[in-house]
Structure 1
Amino acid sequence: MDIKKQALSGAFWTFLQTFGTQFITFGVSIILSRLLLPSDFGLIAMLGVFIALGGAFINSGLSQSLIRTLEADEEDYATVFYFNLVVSIFTYCLIYMCAPFIASFYNQEQLQLIIRVYSVTFVINAFSTIQITRLSKMLDFKTQMLVSIPSLIFSSIVGVIMAFHGYGVWSLVWSAIVQSLASTIQFWYHCKWRPLWLFNIEKFKYHFHFGMKLLFSGILDILFTNAYTIIIGRFFAASQVGFYNRANSLQMLPASTLSAIVANVSFPLFASIQNDEVRLKSVYKKIMQMVIFLVAPTLIFMAVLAEPLFRFLFTEKWLPAVPYFQILCINGILYPIHSYNLQILNVKGRSDLFLKLEIIKKIIAVIAIGISFQFGIYGLLYGSVLSSILAFFINTHYSGKFLRYSAWEQTKDLLPTIGLSIFIGGVVYICDIFWAVNSLNDFSRITFGSLIGALLFLSFSYLFKINSLTELIHIIKRK
């Protein structure tokens, strides 16, 4: 199978996996949001930074190194496997010992036991990291889908049953553990690779040299991505963390879904054409425009219809999250742009530049948090938007040089789609006010607003000959 067919096949199965995963996760989150309290979600969100840090330490960027290594052999895979496993055990022990201090920091005593139990997922997940890496390297996303979807369904059933029977926050904890265990068992069953009893120091140094910079970059990114959750959790009630977490996760849904679909395929694809700069730029440009064409209008329409959307999906108790969500939607539009610009640095093997950019962005983020914190939660939210806008220009500095595709050129290519989305969003907002005055129910407001927004956006895109719509039509016709 040639690379184009592999990429299309990978994109198809990745789409099914990601869409299926997000669809199930979103559906289950609606059910759990109705059964549980915002404070239950807030407690889990408080642990998010520690769970993410544990995952970063376990992987240490070595998986990306394996993917970009064209001639990786059994020694490479075995070496990284045993390293991941040892680090996962060490990380669990460290988290276990730090649990009392974490609980004390948030003034939430029950967090001590929660994080000690939840962190078992570190060790479980370490057993399947290489299996996933090998499947990704071979662009075998069909197997990954056949593993992830059943695991998620089973764990979701466990979580909903526990929540229905009053287990509260523990329904979220055990759902995560069951999902990790189910997926790991299936990956070992489907992927016939088994680690040899080998550990090559030289190969470890090679992968760690590349991965170490990604690890530090990942740690910085995790700390500052979760900085707002940490600050809100430290100085505000757990329910406020729950509102922020719900708003943030919902605004990330369209961006992260599409980005994950494309990123899983694009990184191996970019890696395979990393030395053909003309082709790399062309592919990168088309992918970026297509993702923004889908993400920007979706998020803007969701922001406009946020009040009926939250009330319909999550009930009245989640309405305080609406203004948080509307502000954070700006970050959601910028998320794919950040992701793909940084991906180019990894493809080119410049993890040193990746780390450098992360340090610069975090310094700016610290300044923004320090200033915006004085204005409460809303100040923090607007500060995060400003940091994200500045991050766009920082992220495009080196990738723009590698691709000869500057921040200004990227802005010119993406601005028509974003501008049109904002204009149509304004039309939808005016229509929604009319429907609200005439006492239409929330479902009708969401349905009519979405339909009108989508029809107008597609019509104007066709009228103004936006390239992404043309590409999308060609893809559909080829299918």
Structure 2
Amino acid sequence: MALRKVVTSGLVWTFAQQFGNQLIGFFVSLVLARILLPEEFGLIAMIAVFVAVGNGILDSGLSLSIIRDTEASDRDFSTVFIFNVFAGTIIYMVVFAVAPFIAQFYDQEILTDVIRVYCITFIFSAATSVHLALFTRNMNFKIQTLTAIPAAIVGGVLGIYMAVQGFGVWSLVYSNLLNSVVSFVLIWKYSPWFPSGVFDKILFIKHWKYGYKLGLANLLNRIFNNLYLVVIGKYFSPVLLGFYSRAESTKQLPLSNIERALNKVSFPMFVGIKNDRKRLKDVFRRLLKMVIFVVSPVLLISAALGNPLFRFLFTEKWVPAVPYFQILCLGGLLLPLHSYNLSLLNIYGRSDLFLKLEFIKKILIVGSIFLIIPFGIYGLLWGQVVLSIIAYFVNAYYTQKFISYPLSTQLLDVLPIYLITVLSASLVWFGDQFFFFELSDIIRLLIGVCIGLGGYFLLSIVGRFQQLSQLKDLITNKIENK
């Protein structure tokens, strides 16, 4: 099958999984946000960093090594599987033991039981990581879609039922747990691979040497991505943390799904053409501009319509989260650039450089938090925007060396897209603030989206942006084979 046909098919199913799964999750979260209180979401946000640490240790880079190693066999898969299950069990036991100390840290006694139940998912995640890696390795994204969406539906239904029955924060806990259990059952049902029980020490060392640096970098990334939740949860209140987590999750809905879907397909594709650096640069460049073209208007138009959006979706009690959401959307504009530049290091097996860059960025984050925490929650938010800009310069450093695509050229490529995005979002904000503010929220949203997207696509046509025709080809599945 031609590369573009494989990529197109992969993107269709991956987007179906990402958006289907996340839209279901978002709908469930929306319903729960109308029933539950912000502080109950804040309690879950308090343990997010500890959940992230557990998952980060499990995601040691071994699964990525399997995807990358074209000569890996069943012995490799079984070896990694056994290690993952063993590690998942040990990590859960550790978390179970330290749960009371985490609860004491936040002065929230209920967190002890919440953590112990919520983190059972570690074991199920460990037992499916190799299966998912094999699906991705073979670019079989259809099965991933057929397992993820039913799990999200079943877990979501339980969460809503428990919330209506008055179970509070436990609605969120058991919804997530059931999602994980159903996903585990379906993945094992549809996967043609079954572990043989073989553990090969030599093969483990081979994958470990490649993966542990990526795993450590991923662990650091997960910790520091959730570090703000720890700081806000410790020094502010569960209510304020609930507002922040709601703003962050709403921003991440379009951002992480588009980026993750493209990355899932692009990584094995990049690996396949890594020896042809000229071709890799061309494909890398086009995909980078495509993801920015799709993500940026969604983020900024949503930010411009923050007030009617949050009031319509989550009710009036969540409106204080709007300023947080708007600032976080600004910082999110550069995140796809971070991800794509770092992916090159993984493609060429330079996990040492990946880890080095992560250490540099984490030092910057810790230093900035100590400096700006006296300025309160808004200091932390604007600090994230500034750090995102600095981190992009750090992440793009090695792209010049690998495919001769320097930061300056990247900025020239994406700057026109950002420009028409800002113009379109500014038009939406101006109209909503001065002309449509007295209308109902749903009408304001409909008018704003029409104005924003209409202006964006009109400017794209006038400016002859190639991404518009490429997006049309992708949607209509008419990309020609090469």
TM above 0.5, yes or no, is yes
Mapped partners of 1:476, 1:205: distance in 2 = 43
Mapped partners of 1:426, 1:6: distance in 2 = 38
Aligned pairs for 1:1-400 within 5 A: 1-400=1-400
TM-score norm. by structure 2 comes to 0.97
Q: Does 1:453 align with 2:452?
A: yes
Mapped partners of 2:74, 2:471: distance in 1 = 40
Q: Are 1:121 and 1:180, in contact at CA under 8 Å, matched by a contact in 2?
A: yes
Q: How far off its partner does 1:347 sit?
A: 0.7
Aligned AA for 1:450? V
Aligned AA for 2:119? S
Q: Residues 134, 242 of structure 1: CA spacing in aligned structure 2 closer, same or farther, 3 A cutoff?
A: same
Mapped partners of 1:408, 1:112: distance in 2 = 49
Q: Are 2:8 and 2:474, in contact at CA under 8 Å, matched by a contact in 1?
A: no
CA offset digits 1:103-148 (Å, max 9, x no partner): 1111111101100111111111211111111111000000010100
Q: Are 1:311 and 1:319, in contact at CA under 8 Å, matched by a contact in 2?
A: yes
Aligned AA for 2:460? S
Q: Are 2:82 and 2:197, in contact at CA under 8 Å, matched by a contact in 1?
A: no
Aligned AA for 1:227? L
Mapped partners of 2:425, 2:103: distance in 1 = 43
Aligned AA for 1:198? V
Matched residue of 1:196: which SS?
Answer: coil
Q: Are 1:361 and 1:391, in contact at CA under 8 Å, matched by a contact in 2?
A: yes
Q: Residues 218, 475 of structure 1: CA spacing in aligned structure 2 closer, same or farther, 3 A cutoff?
A: closer
Matched residue of 1:162: which SS?
Answer: helix
Mapped partners of 1:218, 1:128: distance in 2 = 19
Q: Residues 473, 123 of structure 1: CA spacing in aligned structure 2 closer, same or farther, 3 A cutoff?
A: closer
Aligned AA for 2:48? G
CA offset digits 1:258-309 (Å, max 9, x no partner): 1111011011111111111011111111111011111111111111110011
Mapped partners of 2:476, 2:325: distance in 1 = 36
Mapped partners of 1:179, 1:272: distance in 2 = 33
Mapped partners of 1:184, 1:138: distance in 2 = 19
CA offset digits 1:335-379 (Å, max 9, x no partner): 111111111110110010000000011111112111111100000
Mapped partners of 1:147, 1:45: distance in 2 = 26
Matched residue of 1:295: which SS?
Answer: helix
Matched residue of 1:397: which SS?
Answer: coil
Q: How far off its partner does 1:5 sit?
A: 2.0
Q: How far off its partner does 1:478 sit?
A: 5.2
**More off after superposition, 466-475 vs 439-448:** 466-475
Q: How far off its partner does 1:476 sit?
A: 4.6
The residue that corresponds to 1:465 in the other structure is 464
Q: How far off its partner does 1:2 sit?
A: 3.2
Mapped partners of 2:246, 2:474: distance in 1 = 34
